Chain A
Amino acid sequence: MPLTRRSVLAKIATAAMAGPLGLEAAQHVHEAAAAAAATTGGLYKPKALTQHEFDTLKTLCEIIVPSASKGGAAEFIDLLSSQNPEMAAIYTGGIAWLDDAMKRHYHADFLAAKAEQRTEMLDKIAYRKNRTAELGPGIKFFDWARRMTVDAYYTSAAGIKEVGYVGNRGMKEFKVPQEAIDYAVKRSPFA
């Protein structure tokens, strides 16, 4: 049978349900995994980080991107760290720096500190303008954690859905919604 666009579209539609995970299906799988992990007390065993480091990272990721755990951010970072000593050093070193800085200021490590104490520290290391000899390493570490947490979340089914990407499908005819064109033109210098 000759390959036609109709058969290609049908194949993509079937594949989205059966083979490679479609967005909805993947979303369901992610949520199911999260629910399972919650009921069993979290089964993920860190590969590169110690349990303390991993728990700290997980908390940090969740603060950087609320609901980052739905995107598996800490697991993503731990996995890549397990494959790359250079990456692992960024995280083990960074988490140790964070705990040490927290203890100096609040006499408690990051996990043990109060929420407002964590916020106070993160409000410093989340911005380049606060760079000092003391905070420099923390700012650099936070940069890494932010970037990779964002990557993990927005490459997950939950993040892709949240940001509003609706493509990766097949369509018979490419059309651009008139309302989108009107919206942009109206707000442009060409209105």
Chain B
Amino acid sequence: MFQITRSAPVYDVVIIGSGAGGGTVTKVLTDLGISVALLEAGPMLHPEKDFKEHMWPYQVPHRGAMEGGASYFGRGRAFGFFSAHAGGWQLEGEPYTVAEGSKFNWFRSRIVGGRTNHYGRISLRYADYDLKPYSRDGIGTDWPISYEDIAPYYDKAESFIGVTGSKEGIRSAPDGVFQKCPPPRVHEVLIKKAADKLGIPCIPNRLAVITQDTNGRPACHYCGQCGRGCIPSSNYSSSQVQVFPAMKTGKVTLITDAMARELITNDEGKVTAVSYIDKATRTEKQIKCRTVVVAASCCESTRLLLNSKGPGHENGLGNSSGTVGKYLTDNTGFSLGARIPALEGMPRHDSDGMGGAHLYIPWWLWDKKTDFPRGYHVELGGGYGMPGVGTFAGVCEQHEGYGDSLKKAIYEDFGTHVGFSGRGEMIPNKDTYCEIDPTVVDRFGIPVLKFHFKWTDAEYKQVEHMEKTFTDLIETMGGTVVKRDRPVESKISVGGDIIHEVGAIRMGNDPKTAPLNKYCQSNDVKNLFVADAAPFVTNPDKNPTLTIVALAWRTADYLAEEMRKGNV
């Protein structure tokens, strides 16, 4: 662990959080020669030791079911034993609460790199119209920036982290700086044929995976295990791609196991220090700073601001608008799968590829009329994945019986399933927000968040549309969907499940309605910046990570320039 010295230096920049946002700010500032202190609430990451890349299930006695067969009882690690993630939906001693009548799940990874160590690597640019939704359909709020403002930073982000894709000229899915995407797997070939027939675009996927050697990182070796973490760092994680290289410059003071508690301000209302809990000793420490970049994740950053109370900012720091915690959204989620008879008996082959689909479906009805606002994109699943605990639970359930006929059923079933997952835009609503729970603190004595969450018809109708689309695709491929009548409330994901929380500390043009200006700088506190997904004004039908990186890059550039001018 890295310790601060007793003489307590004043750091030019203290960055809180080492995920996509904090990692990017660390990289950009150190590249410009600026020294930073990086606070991370979790421990150091050691990819060689922590990642279970290439491990077979039989190399652990529990085969991946975890101690006591936890996975059979719906317990244990969230995405399974082999996943690279740290943390999960619940952290021991660090609760959050959910208001009566709401459902919300909050995934937290406290480790260097945060959730980028395991995320899906899907890297989609927001479209020009995504940033001006109010101008287009009269719902919600426009972003204070346009596509032209962020496009150069998408270029930088894609060039640096490496993203696969192809030039398509589709307005809902702007083209970028792409590396070559590997060819589609067999089931993806069939999905594309079905999509073609239905007039739905299905294009090479945009994943933060490098297919050519890039910045000292070796190209992908196609083992399909991105979710386990990539020891050679052929996919993007802020830990391996940004934080570790930045540390080699000698300009990073990394302080791990440091849980930020509060931002300390002076009489002028500027942040002068970050108060944090040193988890190893459970003592409070302070680190002095000239500027602070909060990048602890959308909700964790919100919690930190709301917990930073003082004279003149009794409702939290940077919250004169009273909107910190409001406008929280997740993406919508709905999945449907089926067995495809055409794939039965296919000659076995290695279909691992990248850790994710090689094709995806961008939103295609952006210029057509639908009975819900905005849209969704579709992620594809299928192929011969490495068998694991539970892989054949479905066959067991359907086939029943035992003996040679069961074995035959399993052999015939393997690799014949396809899956579709929709990820769509949620419209911010007044019933969805987070606030400080007045009655609960965590094991460090820090007040916790309380979530309120509600889907509306806008999202329900979107999910109904997903179900119809996926059914059409499956039936066009020759598969059969088992029709199940169930209420739409049980079809849609639970809030937070998609782990795309954004928007609780919005950027905007009017300080009365938005805490941040168009550079993600606090309107109230000039030396306070936010560099995760909290500043997002909306949550379009695209995964947020690439935009976190691009926006954080832009914020870091602006911060460096303001420092140079002596403005912060």
Contact = CB atoms under 8 A, between A and B. Distances in A.
Given A80-B68, A159-B387, A168 B414 contact: no
Interface string B381-411: 0001111111111011000111110110011
Interface residues of B, number: 81
A108 B396 CA distance: 29
Interface of B: 54-59, 61-65, 67-70, 72-73, 182-187, 189-190, 193-194, 197, 213, 216-225, 232, 234, 340-354, 384-393, 395-396, 400-404, 406-407, 410-411, 414, 476-478
A3 interface: yes
Contacts of B342: 184-185, 187-189
Contact of A148 (B72, B182, B349): B72
A156 interface: yes
Interface stretch (A35-43, A99-107, A120-128): A120-128
Contacts of A127: 400-401
Nearest to B68: A84
B548 to A, nearest CB: 26
A155 B389 contact: yes
Given A179-B347, A189-B476, 20 more contacts: A3-B216, A5-B219, A23-B56, A80-B65, A146-B396, A148-B69, A150-B392, A150-B395, A151-B63, A151-B393, A160-B387, A166-B349, A166-B384, A167-B351, A167-B386, A173-B222, A188-B342, A188-B478, A190-B190, A190-B193
CB-CB nearest 10 A-B residue pairs:
A84-B68, A170-B221, A188-B342, A155-B57, A164-B348, A80-B69, A83-B68, A174-B182, A167-B352, A155-B63
A156 to B, nearest CB: 5
Contacts of A156: 58
B72 A5 contact: no
Contacts of B345: 183
B218 A65 contact: no
Contacts of A152: 63
Interface in A14-64: 15, 20-21, 23, 26, 30, 63-64
28 contacts: A3-B217, A20-B55, A23-B56, A66-B404, A66-B407, A80-B62, A83-B67, A83-B69, A150-B393, A154-B387, A155-B389, A160-B58, A164-B411, A165-B385, A168-B225, A170-B222, A171-B222, A172-B221, A177-B347, A179-B347, A181-B189, A184-B190, A184-B342, A188-B478, A189-B342, A189-B476, A189-B478, A190-B190
Contacts of A169: 223, 350, 352
Nearest to B391: A154
Contacts of A172: 221
A110 B67 CA distance: 29
Interface string A54-90: 0000000001111000000000100110011011000
A143 B340 CA distance: 26
Interface of A: 2-5, 7-9, 12, 15, 20-21, 23, 26, 30, 63-66, 76, 79-80, 83-84, 86-87, 122, 126-128, 143, 146-148, 150-152, 154-157, 159-160, 162-177, 179-181, 183-185, 187-190
B336 to A, nearest CB: 18
Consensus secondary structure, chain A interface: helix
Question: Which of B63, B218, B341 is the most central at the interface, judged by chain A CB atoms within 10 Å of its CB?
Answer: B63
Contacts of B222: 170-171, 173-174
A76 B347 CA distance: 31
Contacts of B401: 126-127
Contact of B183 (A23, A157, A159, A176): A176
Given A150-B392, A171-B222, A180 B347 contact: yes
Contacts of A12: 54, 221, 223
B341 A168 contact: no
Question: Which of B64, B70, B72, B225 is the most central at the interface, judged by chain A CB atoms within 10 Å of its CB?
Answer: B72
Contacts of A160: 56, 58, 386-387
Contacts of B478: 188-189
